[in-house]
Amino acid sequence: MAGEPPIPPFAAIIVAAGKGLRVGGATPKQFRTFRGKPVLRHSAESLLVAGAAPLVVVTSADGEDAAREALAGLSFTLARGGATRQESVLNGLEALASAAPAWVLIHDAARPDLPREVIARLLEALSHHPGAIPVLPVVDSLAVDDGAGAMAGKAAREALRRVQTPQAFRYAEILAAHRAWNGARDAGDDAQVLTVSGGSVALVEGDERLKKLTFAEDFVDADPALPAFRIGQGYDVHRLEEGEELWLCGVLVPHDKGLSGHSDADVALHAITDAVLGAIGAGDIGTHFPPSDPQWRGARSARFLEHAVSLAREAGYGIANLDLTLICEAPKIGPHRPAMRAEVARIMGLGENVVSIKATTTEKLGFTGRGEGIAAQAIVLLHKL
């Protein structure tokens, strides 16, 4: 680009073999959408625009299709992930053997915002060090835990640095260091692998934009087109039968009959789940947990609701409040209401003050009045995170 100093030739490896479980949901975080594109594509495009060639993407066997889809149209090759991050990096380095680049950048897919200036600083440092890593100062004060949750003392933060990726290396030296690494030990990062083999690593200025995506909140898309609030309602009915347990709001309620259905038949949690799914336009409980699927037989309905709440978070929404009405002649809900409120709040990760649980009868009219079944209706309000 005009006005910017040229970047010398380099190869790059993106490690995208992790499972990214802390983020939640079924899709590993490197393939999740962030600002309109898969996380992995952001990193790949930043490296390619800066001139990376070749670009090797290391992914697990079951991530290959997702990687190809995420990177459609870009110039890259795939290498297979190993059992540890170290093994994955070594596989990526070996995949570059025929290209034998002078310099290589090793990057985590989960840091999608990669400024060109950081790449330039790293490569500049490689002219006088075999390795270079981006770091940031520690701004918070530090405390030492005595192991029992009390403060044992203070730690000086002045000499400490937070380490980011990409990490830059002279290719021949990092390849040799990784080959010599004892696979039984877990290295914190590639810089550590190089220093153990005797190579010196330069510290260059990192960038807050290189923040690692770790939690579901990190994926919140600040799309201004999303409405600030969304509302959803859910309604469900289950039949009361003898010989069944009665689960309501995740609480086992003593009663002479219980609700029948494929899961634990918790009519209240089903109505709430549908309300959450409805608010984000994600179908209904049957779409996500088909009754025809034997794995949901006898399942705890809390799982359904937890899943719906995590989908809402992925869509960029938190729950503002919930109002639930149970409709039945018996049992009496009042004595169980505090436990139900606490359990629903726990499942949804909310404070009890935003969870309302009400009950009504239908004056002995209709199926609920005759005690043939219990109905539940729920309304939730979602707010943009």
By CB under 5 A, name the binding residues for Mg ion: 236, 270
- Listing DSSP states for 147-193 in one string gives SSSSEEEEE--TT-EEE-S-EEEEHHHHHHHHHHS-TTSPPSSHHHH
CA-nearest of 47, 13, 43 to 31 is: 43
Q: Please identify, using beta-carbon distances, which residue of 189 and 236 lies nearer to Mg ion.
A: 236
Q: Please identify, using beta-carbon distances, which residue of 57 and 322 lies nearer to Mg ion.
A: 322
- Residue 266 C-beta: closest distance to Mg ion, Å: 8
Q: Which residue is nearest to Mg ion (CB)?
A: 270
- Residue 365 C-beta: closest distance to Mg ion, Å: 22
Angle at 107 between CA 89 and CA 143, to 5 degrees: 100
Residue 15, C-beta contacts closer than 8 angstroms, at least 6 positions apart = 58, 81, 85, 88, 89, 92, 106, 107, 108, 109
- Residue 261 C-beta: closest distance to Mg ion, Å: 6
| Type of residue at 260 | S
Q: Please identify, using beta-carbon distances, which residue of 170 and 270 lies nearer to Mg ion.
A: 270
Cβ(361)–Cβ(294) below 8 Å: no
Q: Please identify, using beta-carbon distances, which residue of 13 and 376 lies nearer to Mg ion.
A: 376
- Residue 236 C-beta: closest distance to Mg ion, Å: 4
Report helix, strand or coil for 41.
helix
Distance of CA 73 to the CA centre of its chain: 26
- Residue 96 C-beta: closest distance to Mg ion, Å: 54
Q: Please identify, using beta-carbon distances, which residue of 133 and 237 lies nearer to Mg ion.
A: 237
CA distance 223 to 225: 5
